[in-house]
Structure 1
């Protein structure tokens, strides 16, 4: 790239004069002929001022066309704010980056939508199967997966450490002396052509591993349904119908935990005195429950924003795939019955 010195040499003036002329310094007095010679030299060498480079960069960002592919159905997104929050983070960061040309797709109708073929980059939110992965990858070299890492040697991804978050919650219960711990969770599915395929739940896998290691795993204390408040409510009612039920529950989403909390209260029991609860996500509603919910906080908006930053970096030439793990933290409120200091 041409420099101030190159222009000075070509136009036969000093570098300081070139700099002041190109940056429109009102205090410098030069002949019009000299001024035109400097501008012509700059144009010939392809030089752009800092201001011109900023304008060009801003324009390039605005001209990018980005697709957001959502692997969840609309109903699933409405029932679980987790994925909605990721999408909001993506949309906020696109706006921050000056990118106004974006389109949103549901995975199951992408095959009939030709717009995906004309995109500069794609953000995929959720779990995707091999067929859909190949379809998307064939349409763009610039793909970032959020909340899923299909192949870290090929694709950029932004994930959270479900295993560490789950272990942190369970250790909190174990350190408080709980030996009867139940699990309430939902199933995650891949979507394509309206078909649904259940995939493994890392929170459940981690729960079983830790409980088995502690010698207190009870398969009858594991209840699986959907990631909805209604399902959490029904599963907790089912758990409490047993003569002996766990005195603590790790619940793999906050909406399910809120439904479960309601079921405990309807049974005439107290949270946390009779049943302690820890959720997962830290949605806004968690702190406003009748018994504020202890939960594993996931920085969902930051996941979406990070995905956008990776995608822009990829579009601008980076080839090496990156996998970013966003941290979680345990937010202690009343529902677990144990303060942070106690553990």
Structure 2
């Protein structure tokens, strides 16, 4: 790279004169012809001032920032439920679309301390629930943060989420519209992971279910089964419900993998879906279309959630100060497992 000494030699002036001219020193008196000769020499040699280099570096950083992705789920949880994998795929696709290749991936339960390189990121995308202790460490260093599938403080942080309460009511009201008076619930637990500890958090699907029972919309307080968000736990929990006899004629299952497991347990017990027991699930993963029978389920647009998170982060890094919360809508996809017919639908749904 050219130096001030090179420019001085080419323009036949002192290095001090070159330095003061290139840095726009108004106190120096120099002939215009000499000034232009220095500037021309600098241009021909490809010299950049400190100001120009900083500006170029800033623009480069703006065009290709370093982005961190924190997954608040364990590897096992992701493998058991494609919901969060799909969100991450949406993030990665959008980052690639925008030409951003400086990406770091982190998993919360692996952090004994916050990694030093994470704190150097220009922006951060957090999938799930991040504890307050980690959040405080991160926000001291990173101002541009977007949460996906969780809203910690909408007055401080950008977030992308769905309305779990509204989505759950949509499924349960569909059952009510079909005439079911008693509905069972199979679900898992929401957790925060940190330093090998697991803190159970509120699951809006369960609390919405319980509140609707309290409001007298249907019966089911004795038909709630909670385990882990896995296919095997859906299977075991439905077997537990079957052993109690007098199985509810309808079940809301809080994830598709759990519903697929529950479906297997019903079939092994000789119960037909939907004629003996109807099912509505949650997520609409690809396997829901290919189960037997195909699952009716609340469709969550997970990939779009990830893509929207990246767009919010880029907007924030481009200067927006006001926090934005985006709630992605869901839709109820009607297939065979709920025993619905088009003429019985209480509101608009997606028929497949």
TM-score of the superposed pair, with normalisation by structure 1: 0.82
1:186 aligns with: 188
1:95 aligns with: 96
Aligned length: 291
Q: Is the 8 A contact 2:114 2:137 kept in 1?
A: no
Query: Residues 194-214 of structure 1, C-alpha deviation per residue, up to 9 Å, x if partnerless?
Result: 100000110011111112223
Q: Which has the larger radius of gyration?
A: 2
TM-score of the superposed pair, with normalisation by structure 2: 0.80
Q: State how far apart, in whole Å, the 1-side matches of 2:130 and 2:342 are.
A: 37
Selected match of 1:128 from 114, 127, 130: 130
Identify, as 1 or 2, the structure richer in helix. 1
Q: Is the 8 A contact 2:81 2:229 kept in 1?
A: yes
* Cα deviation, residue 57, structure 1: 11
* Cα deviation, residue 127, structure 1: 1.1
* Cα deviation, residue 333, structure 1: 0.1
Query: Residues 274-326 of structure 1, C-alpha deviation per residue, up to 9 Å, x if partnerless?
Result: 00000000000000001100000000000000000000111111110000000
SS of aligned partner of 1:148: coil
SS of aligned partner of 2:117: helix
* Cα deviation, residue 56, structure 1: 11
Q: Is the 8 A contact 2:188 2:226 kept in 1?
A: yes
Q: State how far apart, in whole Å, the 2-side matches of 1:303 and 1:56 are.
A: 31
Q: State how far apart, in whole Å, the 2-side matches of 1:160 and 1:112 are.
A: 28
Q: State how far apart, in whole Å, the 1-side matches of 2:277 and 2:142 are.
A: 50
Q: State how far apart, in whole Å, the 2-side matches of 1:59 and 1:138 are.
A: 24
SS of aligned partner of 2:140: helix
Which stretch shows the higher mean deviation, 209-218 or 220-229?
209-218
Selected match of 2:245 from 225, 243, 246: 243
Runs of 4+ off more than 4 Å: 55-62
After TM superposition, list the pairs within 5 Å mapping 1:1-343 onto structure 2.
60=61, 63-110=64-111, 111-214=113-216, 216-343=218-345
* Cα deviation, residue 130, structure 1: 1.2
Q: Is the 8 A contact 1:62 1:100 kept in 2?
A: no
Q: Is the 8 A contact 2:259 2:281 kept in 1?
A: yes
Q: State how far apart, in whole Å, the 2-side matches of 1:112 and 1:169 are.
A: 40
1:27 aligns with: none
Gap change, CA 1:339 and 1:138, over 3 Å in 2:
farther
* Cα deviation, residue 78, structure 1: 0.7
Query: Residues 166-193 of structure 1, C-alpha deviation per residue, up to 9 Å, x if partnerless?
Result: 0010011001000110000000100111
Q: State how far apart, in whole Å, the 2-side matches of 1:244 and 1:208 are.
A: 20
Q: Is the 8 A contact 2:249 2:278 kept in 1?
A: yes
Which stretch shows the higher mean deviation, 129-138 or 329-338?
129-138
* Cα deviation, residue 218, structure 1: 3.0
Q: Which runs of 5+ in 2 are unaligned?
A: 1-39, 44-55, 346-352
Please tell me the root mean square deviation across aligned C-alpha atoms, in Å.
1.9
Q: Which runs of 5+ in 1 are unaligned?
A: 1-39, 44-54
Q: State how far apart, in whole Å, the 2-side matches of 1:274 and 1:217 are.
A: 18
SS of aligned partner of 1:104: strand
Q: Is the 8 A contact 1:293 1:336 kept in 2?
A: yes
* Cα deviation, residue 216, structure 1: 3.2
Q: State how far apart, in whole Å, the 1-side matches of 2:138 and 2:317 are.
A: 16
